[in-house]
Structure 1
């Protein structure tokens, strides 16, 4: 009897812990994306666990995940602090790197993508873009779509080092922290994604590279409105 119970017991807490960890991560991520904490604010595990009414373990794990995504900064002997949103210079630096990497990825993808990869890049219709963008929760699905689309292009390029370099930028998180200031980012981005996907399906490297470059340059111009 004891042996049977011991064999079955781990299943429930393991599932529950995963669900709880994801919930804590998403809650903290939403607060950071909504700029709920001032830049450089110190976030402690004990404080957040108390506020969220959870144990320290999922909070600690979530903070580590958010640090790898660049939303938090880990300081020696001081825990985590909130990374400030990009300023205009940092935004320009980010897009300089994106413009060096992602048009190249699109060019390679037009040559190397499998039919399955191209099918997965079918763009979302513009009507799917969120109408309300006052909170991260209102446009989280669009941010996820944007990240998946760009990662899909990078994966289709067939160069894993290039893909990992693009992933490490976490650009979708950093740029959308500015988005709520007001741009037409979602509708325009979806239209531009459609042009990139069209060029990829046509197996046209030059057109795919140009479409990706135009998309990134347009995104940067729209995001610069956040700075007036």
Structure 2
């Protein structure tokens, strides 16, 4: 028999994702501060939705450590956990390194120019103290090899763990230490342009470690 078309279920799915992204972004950009209590009724009213997608979004946010759910008590914005940032950093760094390795050799001159332009915008934003613009330019730069690689599994993993690092970046970019990322981006683009997939992946891995000064082991060649 024909499978019934249920448009409402599709709409609900899109709504859940939209609510999740709105709440996630508000936590990452600091609109909701660490320790702040999140009440599903107030959030639902703010977003103009029912409480169900808000509750589902909060559960997803708890899974990645952005909120802390206390059953029967409250849900609060999580603190920036050092161990959580470290774990997320390793996953994100590894995924970007794989994506770059897959993309090198397929990047066109137009792709490389797009990366160079994004880094120029990133540098200007860092020097101007515009964190939102810096994040946007950084995403655009790293988004080029991700797009060219076209690996949907990598994209799915990054969707889950990158927001944890974005919170750390807000602190990192607020200092002159963020200038280090400009140089690393330049090195990445140079290696990509040279067609050196291995070194490009190593530089990419290092890019995500400018968030901390902890020692790290690089991926095997």
TM bucket normalised to smaller: 0.5 to 0.7
Shift of the 216–66 alpha-carbon distance from structure 1 to 2, 3 Å rule, reads same
Q: 2:90: which partner in 1?
A: 96
Q: 1:176: which partner in 2?
A: 169
Instruction: Give the Cα–Cα distance (whole angstroms) in 2 for the partners of residues 146 and 56 of structure 1.
Output: 31
Shift of 1:205: 0.7
In the alignment, structure 1 segments of 5+ residues that lack a partner are 1-20, 133-137, 223-228
Q: 1:195: which partner in 2?
A: 187
1:149 matched to 2:141? The reply is yes
Give CA deviations for 1:13-39 in whole Å, capped at 9, x if unaligned. Answer: xxxxxxxx99xx48x945663375442
2:133 aligns to what SS in structure 1? helix
Aligned counterpart for 1:118 among listed residues 90, 109, 112:
112
Instruction: Give the Cα–Cα distance (whole angstroms) in 1 for the partners of residues 104 and 49 of structure 2.
Output: 44
1:124 aligns to what SS in structure 2? helix
Say what the alpha-carbon RMSD is for the aligned residues. Answer: 3.8
Shift of 1:130: 4.3
Give CA deviations for 1:17-67 in whole Å, capped at 9, x if unaligned. Answer: xxxx99xx48x945663375442x4312444577xxx57439987886687
Instruction: Give the Cα–Cα distance (whole angstroms) in 1 for the partners of residues 28 and 207 of structure 2.
Output: 26
The farther-off stretch of 68-77 and 192-201 is 68-77
Aligned counterpart for 2:206 among listed residues 200, 203, 214:
214
In the alignment, structure 2 segments of 5+ residues that lack a partner are 1-17, 215-221
Larger-Rg structure: 1
- TM-score w.r.t. the length of structure 1 is 0.62
Q: 1:17: which partner in 2?
A: none
Instruction: Give the Cα–Cα distance (whole angstroms) in 2 for the partners of residues 210 and 86 of structure 1.
Output: 26
1:81 aligns to what SS in structure 2? strand
Shift of the 64–196 alpha-carbon distance from structure 1 to 2, 3 Å rule, reads farther
- State the 4+ residue runs in structure 1 displaced beyond 4 angstroms: 28-32, 58-70, 73-80
Give CA deviations for 1:71-102 in whole Å, capped at 9, x if unaligned. Answer: 34567676743122122x22221222233322
Contact 2:172 2:178 (8 Å CA) reproduced:
no
- TM-score w.r.t. the length of structure 2 is 0.64
2:100 aligns to what SS in structure 1? helix
